Amino acid sequence: MSCRTELPRLSASELGARIRDRDVTVTNVIDAHLERIDERDDEINAFVTVCKDEAREAAAEADRALEADEDVGPLHGVPLALKDLGAEKEGVRHTYGSALFEEYVSQRTAAVVERLEAAGAIVIGKTNTPELGHKGTTDNEVIGPTASPIDPTLNAGGSSGGSAAALSAGMAPIATGSDAGGSLRIPAAACGVYGFKPTFGLVPDDGRPSAFGRELQHTTKGPMTRSVADAALLLSVMGGPHSADPNSVPVDIEYTAALDRPIDEFRIAYSPDFDAFPIDDEVRAVVDDAVDAFADAGATVETVTVDHGYSMTDLSEAAMPTYTTSVLESTTVMEQAHGVEFRDRSDEVSDSLLAMLHVSGEYGPADVARSGVVRTGVYDAVEDVLGDYDLLVTPTLSRADVRLHEDIGAEAWEWPLTWPFNWTGHPVASAPAGVTERGHPVGLQLVGRRFGDDDILAASAAFERERPWDYLYE
């Protein structure tokens, strides 16, 4: 196997170590990943923008720093893919997944990007997302749909679909995502990678011009990787309070130290359907088998009911006012900041976003207030479970066969078991659980106590050791 072929298969931790040991140059690492993009992205469609020249210039500078024996960060020379929504980098095109902003160039660099670059990461490109990240599949009017590299007839999921697909296809070892209803975890499951939604407030979001648009649906940024160790590394870089984020919290968590913790004293609650979701038999079979890995690692695993007391209809009806209002907030801020009108230029706007904006007009403050009662009931039920158990485990998605161009429509709430935890603010990861008999990837969702993000990492690392998933990337 040639060096150029091998490098895109390595984790960020492995790449960083080989770069610091002078076993490989940063230039070779960047070129290997750019070649991989050239080879795979016509089929996958993960990248909206590829920063070839900028990445090569940064690689040359990173190699000079090593030659001069300068102190370097833990991600020195590691290629980084940025979701084309929120993860802005000054001077680089940033479309928000919208044809209205196809030529827009960022005027600022987001806090998490600054932190990742300060640790040495090199931005290799911007990844695809549905318009303003409004839905759980990745397709837009800018470059079209993104496919899952595991089965390109399937959609990569959304809204961080481009980032997940880039990782799965070996086009980048690390990527950013964001999550308002499952946007880190849905594509992680669909592409067979690891996505981590941290406790609300741990990873700062300095978005402007509005800093207050994240509370209603607990939207947060987080890492996407191919390994748990890389996710812990990224969290250690991305996390920590920031003065520009009114929601950031001064909580210190030892992310990387959690990786080697044993879980033999963990009590893990397994809910096969979160008491409401219609789980396909093929998904249930994979997840039922996967949870045995926690017992194999020494944990106690018990099947539980969450007892929130709501039907799927109750939950979805309560979700509509909060989620559609949060999307309306996003478009309103965008219109004010950029002087555009989404409805006035409807020919350039996704039909699904227009439909959501239309629906959002049917709800008012009273509807949002009433949804808070259901939201509180779900929060209390999850807290009750986590009062007795260290973690709650569920499937990430109810089905594993969403097609590349499929409009899931009425199934939008039934498909992902992710959005209830944007209501509650708990930390959640999605790990690859395995594949169905048809070869479709299935995700396993790990929910922890608020600010118990390290417990999720400990359990995820143990699960990865018992059920390695790197075969998905061969």
Q: Of the residues 98, 183, 236, 352, which is catalytic?
A: 183
Q: Residue 226 in contact with residue 470, Cβ under 8 Å?
A: yes
Of the CA atoms within 13 Å of residue 448, those in its CB half-sphere come to 21
Strands 174-179 and 391-395: unpaired
Rounded CA separation 330/332 (Å): 5
Question: 369-376 — which CB contacts under 8 Å span 24+ positions?
Answer: 370/318, 370/321, 371/318, 371/319, 371/320, 371/321, 371/322, 373/318, 374/310, 374/314, 374/315, 374/318, 375/318, 375/322, 375/423, 375/424
Q: Nearest Cα to 443, choosing from 422, 423, 467? A: 467
Q: How far is CA 289 from CA 131, 179, 399, in A?
A: 36, 27, 16
> Is 183 annotated as catalytic?
yes
List Cβ neighbours of 303 (8 Å cut-off, separation of 6 or more): 269, 270, 271, 272
Retrieve residue 298's tokens. Answer: 């020494």
Contact 225, 174 (CB under 8 A): yes
Query: Measured between alpha carbons, how far is 8 from 3 in angstroms, rounded to an integer?
Result: 9
Question: Do residues 267 and 388 touch, judged by C-beta distance below 8 A?
Answer: yes
- Supply 396's token pair: 């990430």
Considering the candidates 148, 159, 160, 227, report the single residue annotated as catalytic. Answer: 159
One-letter identity of residue 325: T
In the set 11, 13, 83, 350, the catalytic residue is 83
Whether 371 is a known active-site residue: answer no
φ and ψ at 23, to 5 degrees? -75, -25
Tokens of 287: 């997840």
Neighbour count for residue 471 (Cβ, 10 Å): 10
The residues annotated as belonging to the active site are: 83, 159, 183
